[in-house]
Amino acid sequence: MARVRDGDADAYADLVRRHAPVAVRTAALLGAGPDAEDVVQEAFVKAYVALDRFRSGSPFRPWLLRIVANETRNLHRAAGRRAAREQRAWAAAEPLLLAGDEPAESALGDVRRSTLVAGLSRLSAQHRQVVTCRYLLDLDEAETAAVLGWPRGTVKSRLHRALSALRDDLAARDAEEVGRHG
């Protein structure tokens, strides 16, 4: 970061290369959909301009991802289009769940993955965001709080409620399926 602050463009390019994949996934999974790369590009520009406000010694990734999350929210300020866009983004998000290198992501079968994506799409925006950050982007609580701009306690409580809602939703869908075929 010292090199970046001293105007070393190559050092910033290294940061961009290192953090761009998770930034694009973050934007896409938080609702930017096909605009994810544009959101990330704008976020990197804003981050560069705001480097003087970056706290020395702090981790760069949560700071950047908070800018990405804010830019994603800015993209959807128009309330009338927001719901339809988020639904389309979640419909398109399923392939992104395979994009990581984590064995857990690869191990999900097609049916379970589709069921999970459908369940996540039925959560409220705040619940979907907290689950996405914690489990799909594998951020810890502090990073999730930084990305979403929420206190850590809010992350904990919303995550608990989101997981309960997701569990109840998936259980109800399973019961409906058994009733139809039972």
140-169 pLDDT, tens digit per residue, is 999 999 999 999 999 999 999 999 999 999
Query: Residue 143: is it exposed, middle or buried by C-beta count within 10 angstroms (0-12/13-18/19+)?
Result: buried
What residues contact 76, with CB distance under 8 A and at least 6 apart?
A: 31, 82, 85, 86
Maximum average pLDDT range among 23-27, 107-111, 172-176: 23-27
pLDDT confidence of residue 59 = 92
Q: What is the chain's mean pLDDT, rounded?
A: 84
pTM exceeds 0.85 for this model: no
Map 151-175 to HEC letters.
CHHHHHHHHHHHHHHHHHHHHHHHH
- In the chain the domains, ranked by start, together with CATH numbers, are 2-181 (1.10.10.10)
Q: Which of 65-74, 163-172, 173-182 is least confident? A: 173-182
Higher-pLDDT residue of 35, 83: 35
Instruction: Note the Cα 131 to chain centre separation in Å.
Output: 8
pLDDT tens-place string over residues 101-114:
555 555 556 667 77
